Structure 1
């Protein structure tokens, strides 16, 4: 779905010269509310269907943060990047999302990572470095190689 939204954002940008990434994200964020609410209603047992109404103020603040800041601001920034750069140069940075999430858990919540999580994070960072710097490094290596 993320790839589809990237394509839709690119097409919207091409069709509308004054394309505003924040407006696009805000309006498109209204679309999943109905299907997600219906799915939650259908999947949850009848006893717990209205328990969300009893959430604490901290719980509602968490929902507001995730819904407004984390989702809308992050996707607006993302579509803003897609507006200025090619998708192929921006998309690899999405690999950093789980690594940043794990780092935030360590720094903010005092969580610990397993050896497998460290190895996975190292692989993700290595892949990102290879994708972003690989072509430049390869060109430099080829240009400095002795000619035959």
Structure 2
């Protein structure tokens, strides 16, 4: 069993899969034997990533410039989008504040109207009470 170069793992002696035992004492674990051996650098059996050659692709100055321009255009598009969103947000905030102020003004006008109406009715009630008192005193004098 050899998964990694230079590392040999052999199964333990007398290794068998048994059903789990629910005894009070746990069974000892099997001992694995691990042998590490040095692998030669150029082994025909084992491919090595060190033997592979990698091609480094260098970008030309023009390609890099185009990539930078694409990045700048993308950044400018994002900046324009963010500015538009912020200006729209500012407009909506102004509209919301104007609506709130209008509602407050209308509420204040209604409160003022109802307050005036209440004062007018209060005056009418007081006037009626005075008239009732005058009639009561006149009827007392007449009855005597």
TM-score (norm 1): 0.22
Higher gyration radius (CA): 2
Structure in which a larger fraction of residues adopt strand = 2
RCO comparison, higher one (Cα < 8 Å, 6+): 1
TM-score (norm 2): 0.23
Structure in which a larger fraction of residues adopt helix = 1
